[in-house]
Amino acid sequence: MGKRWKKRPEGSNWAEFGDDDQRGRMNLLTEACRLQALKEARTGRAFCLSHPLDRPGGSVLNAFRKPPVFHPVMRGDLVYFNLAMEEADPRYTDVGSDEAVMLYTQYSTHWDGFAHKGSLFDANGDGTAEKVFYNGFQIVDRDGRGTQGQLGAINVSVARMAETGVQGRGVMLDLCHHFGDERVDVTWERLESVLKVDSVTVEKGDILCIHTGLGELIREANGRLDSSIRTKCAVLDGYDKRLLEWIADTGIAAIAADNLAVERSSTLGADPRLPHRGPGLPLHEHCLFKLGIHLGELWYFTELAAWLRQNGRSRFLLTAPPLRLPGAAGSPVTPVATV
């Protein structure tokens, strides 16, 4: 058993990759796995899978997250943006710019780190549940103390994910093709049907990419979202036990979707199936907390999904490292698919 806990949650894989592991299933992106993924790059064509960082626009999808805000960088009394450097020193002829940005790390296209979602769980067996994250870690600050009133998580930071390079084989699951823009809770039965009809095979170490069409609706709105978008397009059913078991059994390294939260988001109100006491985001708990599977959200898949379908393919090389930002619970990402 791990050094930090006496018992682990049912269905978890804590310590599978070592007592001190903070990378989870990113460990499955081995050199051999990466070489297999490189074989999927046959044409050299690349697709950018991110939105601009100022999208989706406004705070309709999540009232707690805001668009980026730029702040000036000063060189003395001068704003260092479009600055003729001769104003600082007459010998210089260059013009320079710099900026600072206030950024919500999970506002636009992003990865969830393991610090994003933990659970109240009695890991030390003393009869009292405590705040615990993947592999039994608790969030501590840079001085090793608890983070009450503090910001930044050295343990289970998304920076650990960045260290792996996050390059592997992406596999497209095109829910939009089958369900359109309709809000559908995708159970294992529905997911299995799509896999069979489209002849999609998911293997150990793959990164599952889910096209629901919400990313295209965000693009079409051009930063002016209507509240109706909150209840459009497919979501995974986080309460379906067979679906959760499939995620565990396949050995997928990560899941990325073009919708708000992969599953039905708790920001849209409590799910009527929520038990009296339990997680608001059960798939998040299953993946981030129990299994060490990172979740990508608000990606853009429509152009890639169309190309793959037209060419009879579902696999591609995916390169998607987050920012190597120690202390961060999530990170913006600009994923690239190479086909």
**Within-domain flag for 126:** no
The answer on 110 and 94 residing in a single domain is no
In the block, tokens 């007459």 appear at 90
Mean pLDDT by 10 residues, the chain (339 residues): 82 96 98 98 98 96 96 96 96 97 97 97 95 92 54 85 98 98 96 98 98 98 93 95 98 98 79 76 97 98 98 98 96 98
The verdict on 37 and 84 lying in the same domain is: no
Helix axis angle, 302-310 relative to 214-221, nearest 10°?
Answer: 130
Q: Are residues 197 and 280 in the same domain?
A: yes
Q: Is residue 17 part of a domain?
A: no
Q: Does one domain contain both 90 and 216?
A: no
Strands (E), 74-180: 74-75, 78-79, 83-84, 95-96, 100-102, 110-112, 119-121, 130-132, 167-174
**Distance set, CA 82 to CA 70, 72, 86, 102 (Å):** 14, 11, 12, 20
Q: Which residues contact 63 (CB under 8 A, 6 or more apart)?
A: 267
For residues 180 and 297, state if they share a domain: yes
How many domains is the chain built from?
A: 2
Distance CA 316, CA 172 (A): 8
pLDDT at 143: 56
Helix (H) or strand (E) holding 245: helix 241-250
296 found inside a domain: yes
Decide if 173 is inside a domain. yes
User: Is 253 a domain residue?
Assistant: yes
Domain match, 202 and 165 both: yes
Residue 114 main-chain phi, psi, to 5 deg: -70, -25
Is 297 in the same domain as 218? yes
Residue 134 lies in a domain: no
pTM for the whole thing? 0.94
Both 214 and 257 in a single domain?
A: yes
Q: Dig out the tokens for 117 from the structure.
A: 């979602």
> Do 304 and 197 have their domain in common?
yes
pLDDT given for residue 276 in this prediction: 66
Q: What is the DSSP pairing of strand 294-297 with strand 330-332?
A: unpaired
Asked whether residue 91 is assigned to any structural domain, the reply reads: yes
Residue 140 DSSP symbol: B
With 0-12 / 13-18 / 19 or more C-beta atoms within 10 angstroms meaning exposed / middle / buried, residue 217 is buried
Are 228 and 276 within one domain? yes
For residues 239 and 279, membership in a common domain is answered with yes
Residue 85 phi/psi, 5-degree rounding, is -65, -15
| H/E segment holding residue 217 | helix 214-221
**SS3 category, 327:** strand
Identify whether 290 is part of a domain. Answer: yes
Q: Mark whether 250 and 182 lie in a shared domain.
A: yes
CATH number at residue 278: 3.50.30.50
Structural domain harbouring 310: 24-61+106-114+155-338
3-state secondary structure at position 86: helix
> Contact at 8 Å (CB) between 93 and 86?
yes
Q: Identify whether the C-beta of residue 309 lies closer than 8 Å to the C-beta of residue 177.
A: yes
Which phi and psi angles does 32 have, rounded to 5°? -65, -40
